[in-house]
Amino acid sequence: MATLLYRQERTDRSDDTTLSEGLARAVCILELLETDATSTLLRTLSTKSAQSTTLDFASRMNNARSANGFFDIIGEGTCGTVFEMPGTAAVAKVGSVANIRGLWRDFVFAGRAHQAIFSARPLLAVAFPGLELPHVPAALEFHRHDDAAFWDATTARLADPTHHYRPLHIAERIPPVPEPTRHALIHCFFEPDARDDAAEDPANAACLVRPYFGSRRPEGWAPTTLWNFPLWADAMEQIGLDADVLVCEMALGLAVLHWRAGLEASDVEFVLGTSAIKPALPTSVDSPVANIYAVDLRKRATHLYLLDFDKARDFRVDEPEQDLLPRLVAGVEGNDPYYPRPEINRQLWAAFANAYLEASAILLRDNLEKEHKTPAEEHRVLRLPQKFIDAWVTNMAEKVDNPLEDAIEFGGGGDAEDEGWGSDELGGGDQEDSDEDDEDSGEDEDSDEDDEDSDEEDGDDDAED
């Protein structure tokens, strides 16, 4: 748009433009570009948004539905290498034989989290009508390194033989953010001399955005890639993004992981991606006969996603509090700075904490309706979310050496003992069911030892999905 305005202006003016006039027009054009890029990010990174696009990802996937091309690498991490599976809405994560337990844990816990989100959605929709739970990509298949039938049919699609005959799991893919969003990110946050290379780099098509509410941009930060792009708290303020919605959706996701899936969420990632919008099906046989796909990747909605469960551990609410609470705090603190913090933005922290507490109370009351606990046991369980938040605030205060006792205003969460948090008419999975998944999957109690070599650094598997 700015280029067209500039060309029209050049046509309408004489050639004897003064230097001051030229500079004034240049500043105007730059301001138009900046405004356009910011408005694009504000529109496309909101979880309330939907857009139609002809971006290269959609075209490539739609055109490759019947093809059997090579798997392309779109992510690397400590748990494995992530491949795009052209023509499908799936990714393949290839691990190592030495860390097969880590990949298996990622597969099993992703499945548990996916089911937990599904079962919690109708419960939380009543209390949070304007919010959406984060999505968890469904775990689809797992193949051991010695699955000869699978690998004999698959090796031809992996160009590098070092990726052959290794443990692999297949999951739903998180479609990347649209091309206009990528170009806007490059324009707003890349150095001018790096923008052209970034825009032309095909690897940047696999762009997911990490919302870092718990940190501001480091001094001198100059991104060079869109892989796992960090959107810092001050960058979101610069865009004008509706942070309250995102942090509350993040809080709901954490509450479901804790009190529905029974996972302490260590190193679990939150990313902004998109999803294909399912087309409306015809309702009359008299309508024109048309080609209809299950999804149309050109019509996209922005969503918050949860992924990477290879370092997560499960827990039970009847564990001793002196053991459980430190584990829960370590799970959220030993992670990238996704969660808001009081020292960064107290208002966002309060919104996050209140949403977490209210959602936790709803989920726990629903769980307790299916269990046989004494009133004292129920009281202890219902107090766990507040005790976790208190322990978390204490931990954060110690890190910043600044008392934060007044960091939370729990006006919206209510008392966990109040009636009305759950509903007999709203279904949901049983906590015990999710806790037993790990045992049924064949995980050994000592499987933690198998993964210690993969815990040395943060995984970047989310460039994948």
Domain parsing of the chain, residue ranges: 1-7+24-280+295-442
Strand partners, 299: 52
Q: Which residues contact 282 (CB under 8 A, 6 or more apart)?
A: 290, 292
Tens-digit pLDDT string for the chain (465 aa):
443 333 333 344 444 444 444 434 444 444 445 567 787 777 777 666 655 555 555 555 444 444 557 898 888 877 899 999 988 889 999 999 999 999 999 999 999 999 999 999 999 999 999 899 999 999 999 999 999 999 999 999 998 888 999 999 999 999 999 899 999 999 999 999 999 999 999 999 999 999 999 999 999 999 999 989 999 999 999 998 889 999 999 999 999 999 999 999 999 999 999 986 666 777 888 888 887 766 555 666 889 999 999 999 999 999 999 999 999 999 999 899 999 999 999 999 999 999 999 999 999 999 999 998 999 999 999 999 999 999 999 999 998 765 444 444 443 333 333 332 223 332 333 444 444 444 444 444 444 444 444 444 444 455 554
Token duo for residue 11? 């046509």
pLDDT at 440: 44
Query: Is residue 259 within 8 Å of residue 385, measured between CB atoms?
Result: yes
Write down the pLDDT at residue 42.
Answer: 77
Look at residue 295 in the predicted model and tell me its pLDDT. 58
Maximal CA-CA distance, the chain: 88
**pLDDT given for residue 442 in this prediction:** 43
pLDDT at 319: 96
DSSP secondary structure code for residue 464 in this structure? T
pLDDT for 393 equals 97
Q: What's residue 216's pLDDT?
A: 95
pLDDT in the model for residue 35: 63
β-bridge partners, 300:
51, 276
Cβ–Cβ under 8 Å, residues 313 and 266: yes
For residue 332, what are the CA distances in angstroms to 154, 188, 389? 38, 30, 11
CA distances, 380 to each of 81, 95, 325, 365, 409 (Å): 43, 41, 13, 12, 22
Phi and psi, residue 47, nearest 5°: -75, 0
Encoded tokens for 52: 């139609």
